[in-house]
Chains A and B, each alone.
Chain A
Amino acid sequence: MKGWFIEAAMSSLTTTSETTYPADIDNRGDDPRERPLLVLRDMDFGDVTRTVTRIALTPPPLAWYICFGISLAFLCLLFFTIGYLLTTGVGVWGNNQPVGWAFDIVNFVFWVGIGHAGTLISAILFLLRQNWRTSINRFAEAMTIFAVMCAAIFPGLHVGRAWLAYWLAPVPNQMGMWPQFRSPLLWDVFAVGTYATVSLLFWYIGMIPDLATLRDKASTKLKQIIYGLFALGWTGSSRHWHRYERAYLLLAALATPLVLSVHSVVSFDFATAQLPGWHTTIFPPYFVAGAVFGGFAMVITLAIPARQFFGLRDIITLRHLDNMAKVMLSMGLVVGYSYGMEWFTAFYSGVKVEKFAFLNRALGPYRWAFYLMMFCNVVAPQLLWSRRLRHNLFVLFCVAMCVNVGMWFERFVIIVISLTRDFLPSSWGHYVPTWVDLGMFAGSFGLFFTMFLLFCRFLPMIAMAELKTVMPQAHAHAEKHPTSRDLHRFDYQPDEHGGVSKAKGTRF
């Protein structure tokens, strides 16, 4: 559907220089003796700079304007629905008694979860020395920031009187009133607030050297001044790089437990309640796995069209997509296991209402949502076991779209279905979203894609400086044969001594 459209439209809309772009190079080999190249077609440092800066410094392809127009229209819808809600009241949502948390919280959890893949790629894969992350980390981090922006809208409005949302913060006030620190909802405020701040810092810090590249490549005075201001006067000094790398490592080490904590805290909102279907200890790891799963699906959804439109197929290579597909598949297995374990726990507990909560998911009035979730999150990703299907970008894109849909429905199943039927049948209810619910949800995609397209257009979409470090030319060939000291270095690369020795006899 959409994937087909993009494949078909790509050829006619991609107007960036090469009209007859050569076919993808397959670098997905599994031979461990060969280190696969992460930047293809013998690009040198200058080629990487040119390829990436061209996107930000020259007018975008026609497809960008079309996508931007559509996104902007949805963003207007978001503003309109927010304005309508603020002037009328939260009653315009379909939330009711007993379903006090509905689309708003579903969307919040969905968007926060999307963000997690960005942090996983930028922090955890960095600590694990997964060099392939350098091609995709910048826009995955951007995705994190924009997803958290979308997420923040919903609880902010959900408080009812959005202009009093600052009461969530511990601000001394004339009422002598403080937040209730023993509530998971307040932990959420701190977790998401810290997460947004740290993600933004991580993203910006990583971008400083690349903003300096844009400053130095920009041709107009205005661009030089604007990029120059944000580049903070970066000159690539090695003394600066030393502290910069240390700061980046520290941020990665701090962001890793942070990202795990954020979705754990989000899951506490549910797990500490006594509602059947929510009150379970499996929630923190289950939510984190789900978040990474959904987030990787979104990264793939964005990467496949972006690499085509912006001519980045030699930088975001087939190998990168293959790796992401594998991560998505493994996370999907964890999610599938969690679904099974939830059912087992409910039945093993012997608690009547717990058992009912799960039977109600599969047999109740919202069973279509449950089966849709199961199909999208558990069945569809299994296609990726097959190398042939995984290597087919159209199939991969469709599976990623399935997971995007499935992860939204997972939150719907957990939140809405559990709330509609809890303990007493006399207080059971039903939930139907209103047009404002649907409009706001669609509008949040408008915000996300508007921000993302602006990012692609004006900021360095690929972490150039980082990408250059994983290219073979970046390694000095000081000695022909590795010494024992080399082999014990954590960053030792088997091929780093392969080149011609130019600086013989010098130890670094």
Chain B
Amino acid sequence: MSVEVENKPLKQQALREPVLAGLIAEFSDVDSVLLAAVRVREEGYSRWDVHTPFPVHGMDHAMGIRSTLLPWLVLIAGCCGLSLGLWLQWYANVFDYPFYISGKPLVSLPAWIPVCFELTILFAALTAVFGMLGLNQLPRLYNPLFTSNRFRRVTDDRFFVVIDASDPLFDQQKTEEMLLGLGASAVEWVQEISNV
């Protein structure tokens, strides 16, 4: 911490004091980042992630990511859509305003199939999308990682291992040495502008 910062008024200092958010290590190919992921996991870190431009095959295994519960949410939503479709058609055409048309019975299940089907798909699809975003905690328009210029290549052709500073095993020096030892082409600090 430089002397300049300490001399500033207290309030301003509190606003501007950068807080260490974590370490990012850059890798340039799939093989080395997969190997690094295995090692970081073996070291016992718990608050870490690997950022890649595309889903890397085998990364889930390497990182030990457990299967998401998204499919169950989608199944439940699909069932809700189906029930809503049945209820809607029964309520509208049988209960609230019953009328006979083209010789079909009031409860004409075969004729209800298309609407039930479409609502099942609609609810399931909406849940798949918004459930995924919700579980991923997106949209998140601010992220300390965005302060790093190097990290902008994560959506292009570089792979990053990110270890959060809040990890219990996190040690500025040791973690940096470990990441460099894994063949990272660069290791960089990421700071968060704290507003506390």
| Contacts A45-B157, A209-B54, A235-B154; A178 near B112 (Cβ below 8 A) | no
Q: Do B62 and A44 touch across chains, with their CB atoms under 8 A apart?
A: no
Residues 47-78 of chain B, each 1 if its beta carbon lies under 8 Å from chain A, else 0: 00111111111111111010110110010000
Residue from B60, B96, B139, B145 in contact with A242 in the complex, judged by beta carbons closer than 8 Å: B60
Q: Do B133 and A232 touch across chains, with their CB atoms under 8 A apart?
A: yes
Q: Do B54 and A469 touch across chains, with their CB atoms under 8 A apart?
A: yes
Residues of B near A212 (CB, < 8 A) are 155
Q: How far is the CB of B141 from chain A (nearest CB, A)?
A: 5
Nearest residue (CB) in A for B89 is A181
Q: Do A508 and B62 touch across chains, with their CB atoms under 8 A apart?
A: yes
Q: Do B155 and A216 touch across chains, with their CB atoms under 8 A apart?
A: yes
Q: Do A251 and B70 touch across chains, with their CB atoms under 8 A apart?
A: no
Question: What is the bound-complex CA distance between A466 and B102, given in angstroms?
Answer: 50
Q: Do B142 and A233 touch across chains, with their CB atoms under 8 A apart?
A: yes
B-side interface residues, number (CB < 8 Å):
73
Residues of B near A246 (CB, < 8 A) are 67-68, 70-71, 132
**Using a CB-CB cutoff of 8 Å, which residues 149-202 of chain A contact chain B?**
170, 176-184, 186-187, 190-191, 193-194, 197-198, 201-202
Q: Do A250 and B124 touch across chains, with their CB atoms under 8 A apart?
A: yes
Which of A180, A204, A476 has the largest number of chain B CB atoms within 10 A?
A: A476
Residues of B near A237 (CB, < 8 A) are 49-51, 136
Q: Do A236 and B96 touch across chains, with their CB atoms under 8 A apart?
A: no
Residues of B near A257 (CB, < 8 A) are 117, 121
Question: What is the bound-complex CA distance between A182 and B37, given in angstroms?
Answer: 56
Residues of B near A187 (CB, < 8 A) are 114-115, 118
Q: Do B96 and A178 touch across chains, with their CB atoms under 8 A apart?
A: yes
Q: How far is the CB of A228 from chain B (nearest CB, A)?
A: 7
B104 on the A face (CB < 8 A) = yes
Question: What is the bound-complex CA distance between A179 and B50, given in angstroms?
Answer: 51
Question: What is the bound-complex CA distance between A474 and B54, given in angstroms?
Answer: 9
A255 on the B face (CB < 8 A) = yes
Q: Do A45 and B141 touch across chains, with their CB atoms under 8 A apart?
A: no
Q: Which of B6-14, B26-34, B168-176 contacts A (4 or more CB under 8 A)?
A: B26-34
Q: How far is the CB of B39 from chain A (nearest CB, A)?
A: 9
Q: How far is the CB of A287 from chain B (nearest CB, A)?
A: 14
Residue from A178, A182, A190, A241 in contact with B104 in the complex, judged by beta carbons closer than 8 Å: A182
Question: What is the bound-complex CA distance between A199 and B153, given in angstroms?
Answer: 29
The DSSP consensus for interface residues of chain A is helix
Residues of A near B146 (CB, < 8 A) are 235
Q: How far is the CB of A129 from chain B (nearest CB, A)?
A: 13
Residues of B near A183 (CB, < 8 A) are 101
Residues of A near B59 (CB, < 8 A) are 238, 241
**Using a CB-CB cutoff of 8 Å, which residues 459-508 of chain A contact chain B?**
464-466, 468-469, 473-478, 491, 502-503, 506, 508
Q: How far is the CB of A261 from chain B (nearest CB, A)?
A: 6
| Contacts A201-B129, A251-B128, A465-B53; A180 near B31 (Cβ below 8 A) | no
Residues of A near B49 (CB, < 8 A) are 237-239
Q: How far is the CB of A86 from chain B (nearest CB, A)?
A: 29
**Using a CB-CB cutoff of 8 Å, which residues 236-279 of chain A contact chain B?**
236-247, 250-251, 254-255, 257-258, 261, 265, 268
Q: Do B136 and A240 touch across chains, with their CB atoms under 8 A apart?
A: yes
Which of B58, B129, B142 has the largest number of chain A CB atoms within 10 A?
A: B129
Nearest residue (CB) in A for B110 is A182
18 A-B pairs (CB sep. < 8 Å): A178-B97, A181-B115, A182-B111, A184-B114, A197-B122, A202-B125, A204-B129, A209-B54, A233-B142, A236-B53, A237-B50, A239-B63, A243-B136, A245-B55, A250-B124, A465-B155, A474-B57, A476-B58
- Residues of B whose CB lies within 8 Å of any CB of A are 29-32, 34-35, 37-38, 49-63, 65, 67-68, 70-71, 74, 88-89, 92-93, 96-97, 101-102, 104, 108, 111-112, 114-115, 117-119, 121-122, 124-126, 128-129, 131-133, 135-136, 138-143, 145-146, 151-157
- A-B contacts besides A237-B49, A241-B52, 7 pairs, CB < 8 Å: A182-B104, A191-B118, A197-B126, A239-B136, A476-B31, A476-B57, A478-B31
